[in-house]
Structure 1
Amino acid sequence: MTLQSPQPIHPPMTREEFNVFCAILPATTHVVQWGNSDVWKVGGKVFAICGWNDGADAFTFKASDLAFEVLPDTPGIRPAPYMASRGLKWLQHYAEPGLSDVELREHLHASYDMVVAGLSKKKRAEINP
């Protein structure tokens, strides 16, 4: 019997890593609001939030229809408080295991893309001339 070494445990994405990732996306803006949440916008519309979890970091993002249907079955992922209760398809990564950092970045980027796609043609042209 061969023993395999356990997979290295990586701490989940930090607030700082979240902010660095969101800042590299084109034409984003950052504000701190809603009880010290980091709120990221593109074209004036929110695409990602870090906060809203009783003081612990939680990452909130707009989700595709499929992701909104499937991901809440994953431990550590839930419909985003406040937003989902208003009929919006937003998810929150609030606890481990949740998503890997790679998956979380993919969903944050997809959220950004969905928000950009919903902007007016003029605003989209300003972001991506």
Structure 2
Amino acid sequence: MTIEDLQTLCRQLPGVTEDIKWDHHLCFNVGGKMFLITSPDEVPPTASFKATPAQFTELLEQPGFAPASHLARYHWLHLDDIGRLSPQRWQQLIRESYRLVVEKLPLKLRKQLAADGAPIQ
């Protein structure tokens, strides 16, 4: 997996924007809220994302995962090498992180994203 692969997965989701935060983190957002943070300049590239409480606990037991700095209380995980996961697993985790963030957005924005095909429950 590369940062470009993650970009491709994120860009498939409705309403996604990208920006650079903290000088060198490529962040993917929906409704102005982050759902994936990457560090493309690190070797190997790293990433952080939001998870459900159950996923958070489960993934912490796997190699390379740690609670994300400053965001762990919101069930964000940090992965030390994006290459540890398959494209299919990344797609699942990105979609879940996106969904969790969308659930917290204002109703009007959630409806607009749903109309655009967002995977929202």
Normalised by the length of structure 2, the TM-score is 0.84
Aligned counterpart in structure 2 of residue 32 of structure 1, from 2, 6, 20: 20
Distance in 2 between the 1:107 and 1:17 partners? 14
Q: Is the Cα–Cα contact under 8 Å of residues 76 and 96 in structure 1 kept in the other structure?
A: no
RMSD: 1.9
- What is the aligned partner in structure 2 of residue 19 from structure 1? 7
Q: Secondary structure of 1:128's match?
A: helix
Higher relative contact order (CA 8 A, sep 6+): 2
In terms of mean alpha carbon deviation, does 94-103 or 32-41 score higher? Answer: 94-103
Q: Is the Cα–Cα contact under 8 Å of residues 2 and 82 in structure 2 kept in the other structure?
A: no
Consecutive unaligned residues in structure 1, runs of 5 or more? 1-12
Percent identical among aligned pairs is: 32
Normalised by the length of structure 1, the TM-score is 0.80
Larger Cα Rg: Structure 1 or Structure 2?
A: 1
Instruction: Indicate whether 1:75 and 2:63 are aligned.
Output: yes
Cα separation, partners in 2 of 1:72 and 1:98, compared to 1, 3 Å: farther
Distance in 1 between the 2:113 and 2:51 partners? 21
Q: Is the Cα–Cα contact under 8 Å of residues 60 and 67 in structure 2 kept in the other structure?
A: yes
In terms of mean alpha carbon deviation, does 35-44 or 90-99 score higher? Answer: 90-99
Q: Secondary structure of 1:75's match?
A: coil
- What is the aligned partner in structure 2 of residue 55 from structure 1? 42
Equivalenced residues, count: 114
- What is the aligned partner in structure 2 of residue 90 from structure 1? 76
Q: Which amino acid aligns with 2:26?
A: D
Q: Is the Cα–Cα contact under 8 Å of residues 39 and 50 in structure 1 kept in the other structure?
A: yes
Deviation at 1:97, TM superposition (A): 7.2
Consecutive unaligned residues in structure 2, runs of 5 or more? 116-121
Distance in 1 between the 2:67 and 2:59 partners? 9
Deviations along 1:84-126, whole A, 9 cap, x unmatched?
Answer: 1xx2210122137743221122111100011111111111012
Q: Is the Cα–Cα contact under 8 Å of residues 47 and 82 in structure 2 kept in the other structure?
A: no
